[in-house]
Amino acid sequence: MKITKKAVAGRLERDDIRIEVEPGRGRKIELKSSIGQMFGDRIRVDIESELDRLGVKSVKLTAEDDGALNYIIAARVESAIVAASGKKTAPKIATREIKVIPDRLRRSRLYLPGNTPHLFINARLFGADMLFLDLEDSVPPAEKEASRYVVRNTLLAVDFGDSEVAVRINPLSSPFGIDDLEVIVPGGPELIVLPKAESAADIERLKSEIFRIQNEAGTDFDIGIVPLIESAKGVINAAEIASVEGVIMLAFGAEDFTKDIGAERTRDGKEQFVARSQIILAAKAFGKMASDTVFSDLADTDGLIASTTEAKALGFDGRGLIHPAQIEPVHKVFAPTEDELIYAVKVIEAADEAERSGSGVVALGRKMIDPPVVARARRQLALAEKIGIEIPEIGEEKEERITNL
């Protein structure tokens, strides 16, 4: 690749590296690093290796490093070379097994800005059910192109543990969306998050682009889709969006939604109630999950708990988070309570007894139990098992309390 102009990628901050490239004769690499005394030679090898991969023979490269790992160094070098040459690079393809599980736990979706490598390294330790590596709102326009390489290399290099990994791309109607997919899809994200989703046609277009890119790269990863509904049109069309094959979950974005309808976002969220309800109904009608919007006030834990309790009561399966400190309170709310679990056990016992006796009627005490109640009880017990909650013993006092609910 021939360097035709100066370009810069990365920032001089913790766990990152700033790479500046410009035309030169042969290769000339200047390196400054906070860990240069110990790892300077290793950093130079990483830079040289990436230049070799990209076929760059002549370049003047200046690097300022503050502890970037090798895959971040490679990402910053690649994005700088792409910008300086105007050429695309060959895709990097994931080799790990990728499998999307439609009904897995998705209580928390934690947003991590795509231009902050230091947040990715130990992200699995946060304990979020889902990690949303973000290329959209949290990344300024000047850093969007470079950030997609950071996110792609992170997908390839980092062990996220039990957390499901999604990438929020930019809208396909923007100058960045398709290019995001070109780089990200071969890297094997489990989910692609489509912001500003407003119709089934939007989802079908995304699926078409994913298929094209996978076909060109020679991959066939199972990639799920999470439409992010953030407008009045998206809410109105939520059912058709949820109906598209490959959609795993509908997510709500209240900030852009309230702007779209000309409302002021309030603490109690009354202006969002109809939209939230419609998204839940659409998702559940087609057997999909629904995830509530983020709660933006980090200092208001009581407000977060109250909002999440309401979200659970409405039927949401989880919510968006902007900070790891929000994970534990949200998970506690979405965990079944002792009374809920005891009631679920009694419902399943009654359903099993009805099946053994050949009765088509399930009764618990004086109450008839409908099939949806039985299904919910099974989900509650399955959730308790997944998150390691022990099913409580049912004593006489508890049995009387639960039977009379």
Q: Which CATH number does the domain housing residue 193 bear?
A: 3.20.20.60
pLDDT at 278: 98
Calculated CA dihedral for residues 380, 385, 388, 393, nearest 10 degrees:
70
Query: Does residue 363 register a pLDDT over 80?
Result: no
pLDDT digits (tens, 9 = 90+) for 180-212: 999 999 999 999 999 999 999 999 999 999 999
In a domain, 97, yes or no: no
Read off the amino acid at residue 113.
P
Q: What is the pLDDT of residue 395?
A: 56
Q: What is the mean pLDDT of the chain?
A: 93
- By residue range, what is the domain housing residue 58? 7-85
Q: Are residues 187 and 58 in the same domain?
A: no
The average pLDDT across 73-91 equals 96
Q: Are residues 45 and 150 in the same domain?
A: no
- Is pLDDT larger for residue 54 or for residue 375? 54
pLDDT tens digit sequence for 18-62: 999 999 999 999 999 999 999 999 999 999 999 999 999 999 999
Q: Are 81 and 115 in a shared domain?
A: no
Q: What pLDDT sits at residue 394?
A: 64
The helix/strand/coil state of 321 is strand
pLDDT over threshold 80, residue 396: no
Any idea what DSSP says for residue 365?
T
Q: CB under 8 Å to 155, separation ≥6 — which residues? A: 94, 133, 165, 167, 184, 187, 188, 189
275-304 residues labelled b (16+ CB within 10 A) or e (exposed): bbebbbbbbeebebbbbbbbbeeeeeeeeb
Alpha helices, H only, 116-253:
117-120, 144-157, 177-184, 200-217, 232-236, 238-242
The reported pTM is: 0.89
Last-in-domain residue among 85, 117, 135: 85
For residue 214, being part of any structural domain is answered with: yes
State yes or no: pLDDT of 268 exceeds 90.
Answer: no
Q: Is the CB of residue 64 less than 8 Å from the CB of residue 17?
A: yes
Note the pLDDT of residue 168: 99
Q: Which residues of 12-48 are buried (b: 16+ CB within 10 A; e: fewer)?
A: eeebbbbbbbbeeeeeebebebeeeeeeeeebbebbe
Q: Is 324 helix (H, G, I), strand (E, B) or coil?
A: helix
> What are the pLDDT digits (tens) for 62-74?
999 999 999 999 9
| E strand or H helix at 94 | none
What CATH number does the domain containing 64 carry? 3.30.230.10
For residue range 132-187, what is the model confidence (pLDDT) as tens digits?
999 999 999 999 999 999 999 999 999 999 999 999 999 999 999 999 999 999 99
Other beta carbons less than 10 A from residue 195's beta carbon: 24
Residues 217 and 353 in one domain: no
Q: How many domains does the chain have?
A: 3
* Residue bearing tokens 């809208």: 171
